[in-house]
Amino acid sequence: MADATLNIQGKRVLFRPGTVLKLSVLIILILLIVLPLLRTVLFTLQPDTIKAWSDVLGSRLSKNLFYKPLTNTLLIGVVVSTGCVLIGGFLAWLVVMTNVPFRKTIGVMATLPFMIPSFAAALAWGTLFRNDRVGGQVGFLQGSGLDIPDWLAWGIVPTLIVLTLHYFSLAFTIIAAALATVNSDLVEAAQIAGAKGRKILMGVILPVTTPALVAAGSLCFAGAVSNFATPALLGLPVRMQTLSTRLFGMIEVGQVGRGYVIGIMLVIISGIFLWAGNRAISGRRSYATITGKGGRAKRFDLRGARWPLFAIAMTILTASTVVPVIVLFASSFAPSSSDLFANWTAHYWIGQSTPNIAQGTAGIVHNPDILRALGVTLSLGLAVAFTGMIIGLLTAYTLARYREGVISAAITQISFLPLLVPGIAFGAAYIAYLGAPIGPFPALYGTFALLVIAATAYLLPFSVQTGRAVIQQVGGELEESARITGAGFVKRMTAITMPLAVRGLAAGSILIFVKIIRDLSLVVLLFTPTMPVLSVVAYRYASEGFGQFANAITVVILSLSIVTTLIANRLQSKSQPWLNN
Amino acid sequence: MTVLNITRLGAMCILLSTAAFADGHLDEMTPNDLLPLAQQEGSVTVYSFTSRISKVEAAFEQAYPGIDLQGFDISSTEQIARLKAEAQAGVANADVIYISDTPVVLTELLETGIIAPYVPPRVADRVDEQYKSPLLAQRLSTKVLMYNEEANPNGAPVDSLWDLTRDEWNGRVVMVDPLQRGDYLDLMTEIVLQSDQMAQAYQTEFGQAIDLDGAANAGEKFIMDLFANDVILVRSTDDVNAAVGKLGQDNPPIGFTSYSDRRDNEEEGWALQVANDVAPAPGIIFPAIVALASEPKNPAAARLVIDFLMGDESDTGGPGLAPFYVAGDYVTRTDIVPHPDAVPLDDFNAWRLAPVETAKIRAEVGDLILTLQ
């Protein structure tokens, strides 16, 4: 008798709506993310590497090895994510909700900085602000007679500015997607009640876009704290270190144990910060803004502020897009890396191999390696955008519909993890994880599948966060009415949730595509001779001093990213006519 | 039953010994003997720490048609990480390893059995013992003090490493962060290993015995003083080259970089020159290693590549060595004519890196530098 009751209760727990779904998602995430990372942790617990923990956390080295870099890292994370949400949010508001001039131009330009590798932005900073501390070529401003102080040329200030100008477009993409789904009846209700623009912004729009703001802030925070190229380029001459430059350095000189410990600490500390952010959303009940009724809201009339606000937006966008693009472009034509605008030649693009230039390397259109890498890179981008968004959507849906409980909390935390793991460590973990055969499954080392699986896992935070911001706004009522009429889970997903979330999903897919085709840190260990990708080829050229080829390839990657974005924008506006004026 | 087992055992013994014999046999083969076997294998994969492998690839395929050399340009540090990961995964992708970073290579790759030594019998008698064991060095590369020749037409502006700790060089010495690049950590380690010479040079420079002031030895004292004198750390040797070498500077800095980068002076607009006479030594000279993967998929072709990389019987080593026959790179073969534009190896004052000694205290020196940053 008692057994029977227990049994029934047990079944109820098991078949409570969502349990199966939640468990499946959890298992997928554990397989993709937790197991490979666990290997890294176990590595630092081996008898001969365990001393790394005390070296890093409590020895005479700790101050320089860990605590000072940690302070810089947290400063960067907090300032950059705040700046990104402010700038990205401001631009998204201008583009989506106001009648600012050249809205579409601003919209397209605001998505560009994220596609420009952050090292290009850092190089561009140097081109302008570099002073005579290091010697050699000074920047444009110092060259024009201005005396640029060290704090403006090197260290934390330029790092903060460059990273903010790099990551704000990530915030823009997410916040714009969320703003675009804000329902007209909310805004109209406020207008009827007599609320003015500022009041509507603060009282209606900001609150309902909170999930997007928090998601954007979290992604920018995580991106900024694990960014390597910018602090390495701008910080080193004044000996500013962050956890990521320290991690890289430790692995670089063969002290892998310490490197991993720093990496693990980076994960833990960022995790705590992001957990706090997540608490902020999960406290609220519902963010549903796309409901069964309502249409597009009227745009705010900025009146006299139209052109001044336009000028502010363009200043930010010029600094973050036009300048780095010019530097990249120029340096793919300039024979000398120190004099960007002299003696231009198209050799690095279209030249045939000549022995006296760059060890006989042919221009990139004649280079079979680069063409092959281009094919692999594009396939990888498409495959990962597809797999990433499927798992991302599934995860986001699960979290939005069943946000209570331990499993959901675990899913949230795990889906964030890869963001905090430096790509090179993630790649190494994956080689150890899937490189060798597991039971009946063959070793995946050197296969396209390994690249796709690892990249999907690595970029999951992006797919989940973007999917989540949108899906939380797709009201449950639509799906519920479908369920009442007898539609199954798959039917509801494909007929209701997917179409409504398509803009956010497309935005997520673009992010993933763009991120993976220019990603270096993850693939640098995973790529194999038969499976070259563009960024690795570019990196090889850059490290051999053939910066022009590297920059030419970067320009190719950039063009690919821009074309993708434009196509995606066009597709979106066709499938969602209500987003147009 | 027992008989069967014994027969099996015997068969296994024979098989094993043939395998061993075959391998040993390969080590003794001349290029001509290796060629047909290598052609049967059809391809060979090389991990190389220099992009010059693409030139080697073209030359090799021309010399030995029918063997596809797949050369991959992968930095030493990355090769080490990759080879270790591959070994863990039970995959042997590379046949030939061409790499620097010897101190790490010895402990992480050779001692762990991931790579194995091979000296082509053809050139074995023309390479010094020190460059054949424990691994074969193909050439020697450098990290030495370089200055701007244009701004200092009468030679180096310093005559001792200790000059770099003087006030006039405050904030004007450039090098790559030794905690981000292995070869610079090797340089710092060598300075510590050469503490006696450093103490002697101090005495000569300042006319008094060195006061260690808490440092363990003269080498460590130098590193501490150098960092206290605001040495500027950058990310890559090219950054050092541009800072030190850039033409048109009134008061250029000085810095540690590769002697062979002088070959790019014209193309890049630099005026780099080595400060060879600086006391006690301008820096380090260290080997570039060629080795076999311990279980190469293409054992004959792999050996043929290493043979090819050691150069042919001509005075300058022919097409296999051509990419490396530049001023500032020193080929280890004793019968190759030294490059006419470089300081001859015998006159080159840099310390010869001792990989085994370096490996012992490298991490300690790294820790010291960590506390100084």
Q: Would residue B7 count as lying in a domain?
A: no
Q: Residue A136: its pLDDT value, please?
A: 65
Would you say A162 and A230 are in contact if contact means Cβ atoms under 8 Å apart?
A: yes
Q: Do A249 and B75 touch (CB under 8 A)?
A: no
Q: Residue B98: its pLDDT value, please?
A: 96
Relative orientation angle of helices B31-41 and B299-309, to the nearest 10 degrees: 130
Please name which of A565, A562, A572 lies closest in space to residue A502, comparing C-alpha atoms: A572
Beta bridge partners, B333, equal B127
Instruction: With beta carbons under 8 A apart, name residues in chain A contacting B54.
Output: 359-361
Q: Do A431 and B366 touch (CB under 8 A)?
A: no
Rounded CA-CA distance B70/A372 in Å is 14
Would an 8 Å CB–CB cutoff place B165 in contact with chain A? no
Give the chain B residue nearest A62 (alpha carbons). B371
Q: How far is A150 from chain B (nearest CA, A)?
A: 12
Would you say B231 and B188 are in contact if contact means Cβ atoms under 8 Å apart?
A: no
Rounded CA-CA distance A527/A525 in Å is 6
B276 and B182 both lie in a single domain: yes
Highest-pLDDT range among A299-313, A357-371, B255-269, B296-310: B296-310
Residue A218: partners with Cβ closer than 8 Å, 6 or more residues away: A81, A274, A277, A278, A416, A465
SS3 at position A485: coil
Would an 8 Å CB–CB cutoff place B366 in contact with chain A? yes
Highest-pLDDT range among A57-61, A127-131, A324-328: A57-61
Token reading at B217: 């030895």
Instruction: With beta carbons under 8 A apart, name residues in chain A contacting B55.
Output: 359-360
In angstroms, the Cα distances linking A333 to A350, A547, A553, B83, B100 are 11, 10, 12, 36, 32
Q: Do B232 and A248 touch (CB under 8 A)?
A: no
Token reading at A190: 């406020």
Please name which of A111, A362, A76 lies closest in space to residue A234, comparing C-alpha atoms: A76
B198 and B303 both lie in a single domain: no
B96 and B212 both lie in a single domain: no
Q: Would residue B233 count as lying in a domain?
A: yes
DSSP letter assigned to residue A63: I
Q: Would residue B203 count as lying in a domain?
A: yes
Q: Would residue B21 count as lying in a domain?
A: no
Q: What is the 3-state secondary structure (H, E, C) of A199-258?
A: HHHHHHHHHHCHHHHHHHHHHHHHHHHHCCHHHHHHHHHHCCCCHHHHHHHHHHCCCHHH
B240 and B363 both lie in a single domain: yes
Would you say B120 and B310 are in contact if contact means Cβ atoms under 8 Å apart?
A: yes
Instruction: With beta carbons under 8 A apart, name residues in chain B contacting A432.
Output: 85, 88-89
Q: Would residue B253 count as lying in a domain?
A: yes
Please name which of B91, B49, B41, B47 lies closest in space to residue B68, comparing C-alpha atoms: B41
Residues 75-104 of B with CB under 8 A from A: 75, 77-78, 80-82, 85-86, 88-91, 93, 104
Backbone angles phi, psi at B72, to 5 degrees: -125, 125
* Helix ranges restricted to H, A519-580: 523-526, 534-543, 547-575
Residue B214 is part of which domain span?
141-285+354-372
Query: What ipTM score was computed for the predicted complex, to two decimals?
Result: 0.72
Q: Do A435 and B85 touch (CB under 8 A)?
A: yes
pLDDT tier, A206 (very low <50, low <70, confident <90, very high otherwise): confident
Token reading at B129: 């013992």
Q: Would residue B120 count as lying in a domain?
A: yes
Instruction: With beta carbons under 8 A apart, name residues in chain A contacting B182.
Output: 252-254
Backbone angles phi, psi at A531, to 5 degrees: -130, 60
Instruction: With beta carbons under 8 A apart, name residues in chain A contacting B46.
Output: none
Please name which of A414, A447, A413, A416 lies closest in space to residue A430, comparing C-alpha atoms: A447
All structural domains of chain A: 40-317 (1.10.3720.10), 362-575 (1.10.3720.10)
B236 and B319 both lie in a single domain: no
Q: Which residues of A473-508 are buried (b: 16+ CB within 10 A; e: fewer)?
A: bbbeebbeebbeeebeeeebbeebbbebbbbbbbbb
Q: Residue B70: its pLDDT value, please?
A: 85
Residue A22: partners with Cβ closer than 8 Å, 6 or more residues away: A398, A402, A405, A407, A408, A411
Q: How far is B181 from chain A (nearest CA, A)?
A: 6
Instruction: With beta carbons under 8 A apart, name residues in chain A contacting B82.
Output: 525
Q: Do A540 and B363 touch (CB under 8 A)?
A: no
Q: What is the pLDDT along chain B (373 residues), one digit of tens a residue?
A: 444 455 555 555 444 444 444 555 888 899 999 999 999 999 999 999 887 887 898 899 999 999 989 888 777 877 887 788 778 777 788 999 999 888 889 888 999 999 999 999 999 999 999 899 889 999 999 999 999 999 999 999 999 999 999 999 999 999 998 887 888 999 999 999 999 999 999 999 999 999 998 889 999 999 999 999 999 988 778 889 989 998 888 889 999 999 988 888 887 789 999 999 998 999 999 999 999 999 899 999 999 999 999 999 998 889 999 988 888 889 999 999 988 888 888 899 999 998 888 988 988 999 999 888 7
Would you say A422 and A228 are in contact if contact means Cβ atoms under 8 Å apart?
A: yes
pLDDT surpasses 80 at A186: no
pLDDT tier, A285 (very low <50, low <70, confident <90, very high otherwise): very low
Would you say B145 and B161 are in contact if contact means Cβ atoms under 8 Å apart?
A: yes
pLDDT surpasses 60 at A8: no
pLDDT surpasses 60 at A363: yes
Q: Do A251 and B232 touch (CB under 8 A)?
A: no
B301 and B228 both lie in a single domain: no
Interface mutation vs chain B, best among A252, A354, A549, most B CBs within 10 Å: A252
Highest-pLDDT range among A211-225, A433-447, B110-124: B110-124
Q: Do B239 and A134 touch (CB under 8 A)?
A: yes
Going by DSSP bridges, is the β-strand pair B173-176/B272-274 parallel, antiparallel, or unpaired? unpaired
Would you say B243 and B253 are in contact if contact means Cβ atoms under 8 Å apart?
A: yes
Please name which of B262, B271, B261, B269 lies closest in space to residue B152, comparing C-alpha atoms: B271
Residue B202: partners with Cβ closer than 8 Å, 6 or more residues away: B162, B209, B210, B218, B222
Residue A28: partners with Cβ closer than 8 Å, 6 or more residues away: A391, A394
Q: Do B72 and A133 touch (CB under 8 A)?
A: no
Q: How far is A445 from chain B (nearest CA, A)?
A: 8
User: pTM of the entire structure?
Assistant: 0.76
Least confident of A245-254, A283-292, A319-328, A351-360: A283-292
Long-range contacts of A372-376 (CB under 8 A, 24+ apart): A372/A532, A373/A532, A373/A533, A373/A534, A373/A536, A373/A537, A374/A534, A374/A556, A376/A448, A376/A531, A376/A532, A376/A533
Rounded CA-CA distance B257/B283 in Å is 9
B42 and B115 both lie in a single domain: yes
B279 and B172 both lie in a single domain: yes
Q: Residue A15: its pLDDT value, please?
A: 55
DSSP letter assigned to residue A386: H
Of A135, A437, A546, the CB nearest to B174: A135
Number of Cβ within 10 Å of residue B213's Cβ equals 8
B198 and B336 both lie in a single domain: no
Q: How far is A535 from chain B (nearest CA, A)?
A: 14
B223 and B365 both lie in a single domain: yes
Q: Do A252 and B182 touch (CB under 8 A)?
A: yes
B198 and B124 both lie in a single domain: no
Instruction: With beta carbons under 8 A apart, name residues in chain B contacting A134.
Output: 174, 232, 234, 239, 243, 253
Rounded CA-CA distance A571/A509 in Å is 13
CB pairs under 8 A between A and B: 155
Give the chain B residue nearest A362 (alpha carbons). B54
Q: Residue B207: its pLDDT value, please?
A: 93
DSSP letter assigned to residue A442: P
Would an 8 Å CB–CB cutoff place A250 in contact with chain B? yes
Q: How many residues does chain A have?
A: 581
Q: How far is B317 from chain A (nearest CA, A)?
A: 18
Q: How far is A384 from chain B (nearest CA, A)?
A: 23
Q: Provide the percentage of residues in chain A whose pLDDT is more than 70.
A: 81
Residue with tokens 């309902």: A208
Q: What CATH code is carried by the domain that includes residue B86?
A: 3.40.190.10
- DSSP string of A19-41, one letter each residue: HHHHHHHHHHHIIIIIHHHHHHH
Would an 8 Å CB–CB cutoff place A133 in contact with chain B? yes
Would you say A454 and A527 are in contact if contact means Cβ atoms under 8 Å apart?
A: no
Residues 510-569 of A with CB under 8 A from B: 524-525, 528-529, 540-541, 543-546
Q: What is the 3-state secondary structure (H, E, C) of chain B?
A: CHHHHHHHHHHHHHHHHHHHHHHHHHHHCCHHHHHHHHHHHCEEEEEECCCCHHHHHHHHHHHCCCCEEEEEECCHHHHHHHHHHHHHHCCCCCCEEEECCHHHHHHHHHCCCCEECCCCCCCHHHECHHHCCCCEEEEEEEEEEEEECCCCCCCCCCCEHHHHHCHHHCCCEEEECCCCCHHHHHHHHHHHHCHHHHHHHHHHHHCCCCCCCCCCCHHHHHHHHHHHCCCEEECCHHHHHHHHHECCCCCCCEEEECHHHHHHHHHHCECEEECCCCECCCEEEEEEEEEEECCCCCHHHHHHHHHHHCCCCCCCCHHHHHHHCCCCCEECECCCCCCCCCCCHHHCCCEECCHHHHHHHHHHHHHHHHHHC
Q: Would residue B328 count as lying in a domain?
A: yes
Q: Residue A358: its pLDDT value, please?
A: 62
Q: Work out how many domains chain B is built from and give that number.
A: 2
Instruction: With beta carbons under 8 A apart, name residues in chain A contacting B179.
Output: 246, 249-250, 252-253
DSSP letter assigned to residue A303: G
B219 and B292 both lie in a single domain: no
Q: Would residue B117 count as lying in a domain?
A: yes
- Is the four-CA dihedral A482, A486, A490, A494 of positive or negative sign? negative
Q: Do A134 and B232 touch (CB under 8 A)?
A: yes
Residue that wins the pLDDT comparison between A491 and B226: B226
Rounded CA-CA distance A552/A331 in Å is 8
Would an 8 Å CB–CB cutoff place B63 in contact with chain A? no
Q: In which element (H, E) is residue A49 found?
A: none
